[in-house]
Amino acid sequence: MRFLATCVWGAFLCSCSDPGTLGASQMERRELGMIDYGRTGESVAPYYVVRPASAAELSVVVVEAHRLKKKLRIRGRGHSMNQSSLPRKGEISLDTSGLNYYEFDSPGTVRVGAGVPMTDIDELVRGYGMSLPVLNDGGRGPSLGGYVAAGGIGRGATVHGGFWANVLQLVVVSGSGEILVIDRTDPLFPWFFGSMGRLGVVAEARLQLVAENQVTQPYPVGASGRIDVRSASARVDADENLFWLTVFAPVVDRKRLRERLESLMARHSESANFTEIYEYRIASADVVAPLVYPEPGEFAAMGVWGSVRPGGERFRKLFALSDAIDHLLREEPGWRRYVQTEAVRPSFDHLEYFGPRVGPVFALLESSLDPHQVLNPRN
């Protein structure tokens, strides 16, 4: 891990004690309700919004937030289902959409700011005859930083492994404002995937690219710029009844997992209109992300999805489904679920869920990288 700077003070820094006046263009007070894709809750007013445009600015924001005794709630594109990006009363919503830069500075890779939607990165590199090995399903969903915070599975993972296997380097700002450059060989690296913004704010990443078939375009060395992501990130277009719940399991358990999901669907048919069970495999990789699925080797991702039946009590029905998955996992301790992004109750205990092997290490990393609990504090 390389240590770049403890904090970068500059014009961005303001000595005011009210964050509402902390550099007028950087910090805004908001009353309007903010939601996420799951729509199970809302932000609590008043809160503040800040939109740094570089890792250096981000570092200043984190340091200043701590000095002002304010908590930061990191917000990518609000495409999670569990209220994790919604600012609580008095918190500062850290909008990552200003981290929208890119640079092609090393063949076969691209360096991108964490606020850019994954699909926009793919579109950018496709213009040069390359593509992202792993990409989310479901259209213009997560930002790069949000995808890391969740873990990252999707198209291409069956061949290339999870997102963690396709990132070469992360630049992260810790809860103390330190700018950390973390290579994929660093033991800390895999812990950021699925860490829900609790170990640091992802500022940028260097991504592995694959060449598209038949394309012989030269690598666009030196090409750089910014991608306008703001207009789309302000809105969360969601079918409010849509849900999906994913279980990760060893490949040998696939048959049993499918049977158990079918039985769950039968028991909850009054709560939801289910579509067919989805399934794909996540290829074995040299990097294992302990917070997503702690066992080495290939694993299966299988889940139920559909829409909660209309007619009131949406939350009760949704959380009943989520509880049913939790119950399943209690009976199958080797199985995991995608807690980082899907609907879990606000009271969900992540450390207990991670279990005695992973939970204590995560807690230790949290206390060393964010000693003052400035970032995404627990409720």
Ligand X SMILES: Cc1cc2nc3c(=O)[nH]c(=O)nc-3n(C[C@H](O)[C@H](O)[C@H](O)COP(=O)(O)OP(=O)(O)OC[C@H]3O[C@@H](n4cnc5c(N)ncnc54)[C@H](O)[C@@H]3O)c2cc1C
136 belongs to the binding site for ligand X (CB under 6 A): yes
> Which of 36, 57, 95, 178 contacts ligand X by CB under 6 A?
36
Of 15 and 379, CB closest to ligand X: 379
Give min distance, CB of 269 to ligand X, in A. Answer: 24
174 belongs to the binding site for ligand X (CB under 6 A): no
DSSP category for residue 96: G
Q: Restricting to residues 95-114, name those near ligand X by CB under 6 A.
A: 96, 114
19 belongs to the binding site for ligand X (CB under 6 A): no
CA 197 to centroid of chain Cα atoms: 7
Q: How many residues bind ligand X (CB under 6 A)?
A: 35
341 belongs to the binding site for ligand X (CB under 6 A): yes
Give min distance, CB of 40 to ligand X, in A. Answer: 13
26 belongs to the binding site for ligand X (CB under 6 A): no
Give min distance, CB of 347 to ligand X, in A. Answer: 16
Map residues 176-215 to x or -, x wherever contact with ligand X holds by CB under 6 A: --------------------xx---xx-------------
143 belongs to the binding site for ligand X (CB under 6 A): yes
Give min distance, CB of 68 to ligand X, in A. Answer: 19
Give min distance, CB of 320 to ligand X, in A. Answer: 21
Which 3 state secondary structure label does DSSP give 94?
Answer: strand
CA 24 to centroid of chain Cα atoms: 28
Q: Restricting to residues 60-79, name those near ligand X by CB under 6 A.
A: 74-79
Map residues 254-283 to x or -, x wherever contact with ligand X holds by CB under 6 A: ------------------------------
> Which of 133, 145, 161, 290 contacts ligand X by CB under 6 A?
145
Of 26 and 96, CB closest to ligand X: 96
> Which of 142, 177, 190, 290 contacts ligand X by CB under 6 A?
142
User: CA of 276: how far to CAs of 220, 240, 253, 258, 306, in Å?
Assistant: 42, 19, 19, 11, 8
CA distance 15 to 21: 10
Which run of H or of E encompasses 206?
A: strand 201-208
290 belongs to the binding site for ligand X (CB under 6 A): no
Record the tokens describing residue 32, joined without a space: 């309007």
Of 114 and 265, CB closest to ligand X: 114
Find the angle CA(336)-CA(337)-CA(342) to the nearest 5 degrees. 165
Of 223 and 365, CB closest to ligand X: 365
> Which of 12, 27, 37, 40 contacts ligand X by CB under 6 A?
37
Find the angle CA(196)-CA(192)-CA(154) to the nearest 5 degrees. 80
Please compute, for residue 57, the number of CA atoms within 13 A of its CA located in the half-sphere on the CB side.
Answer: 19
**Sole residue written with tokens 């990552």:** 96
Q: Which stretch binds ligand X (CB under 6 A): 22-30, 133-141, 224-232, 252-260?
A: 133-141
3-state secondary structure string across 210-265: EECCCCCCCCCCCCEEECCCHHHHCCCCCCCCEEEEEEEEEHHHHHHHHHHHHHHH
Please compute, for residue 259, the number of CA atoms within 13 A of its CA located in the half-sphere on the CB side.
Answer: 4
Please answer whether residues 150 and 80 qualify as being in contact, where contact means their C-beta atoms are separated by less than 8 angstroms. Answer: yes
CA distance 126 to 108: 12
Give min distance, CB of 266 to ligand X, in A. Answer: 26
Q: CA-CA-CA-CA torsion for 22, 23, 26, 28, nearest 10 degrees?
A: 50
Of 143 and 174, CB closest to ligand X: 143
> Which of 19, 87, 133, 154 contacts ligand X by CB under 6 A?
154
Please compute, for residue 350, the number of CA atoms within 13 A of its CA located in the half-sphere on the CB side.
Answer: 23
Give min distance, CB of 214 to ligand X, in A. Answer: 27
Return residues touching ligand X (CB under 6 A): 36-37, 74-80, 84-85, 96, 114, 136-139, 141-143, 145-147, 149-154, 196-197, 201-202, 341, 376
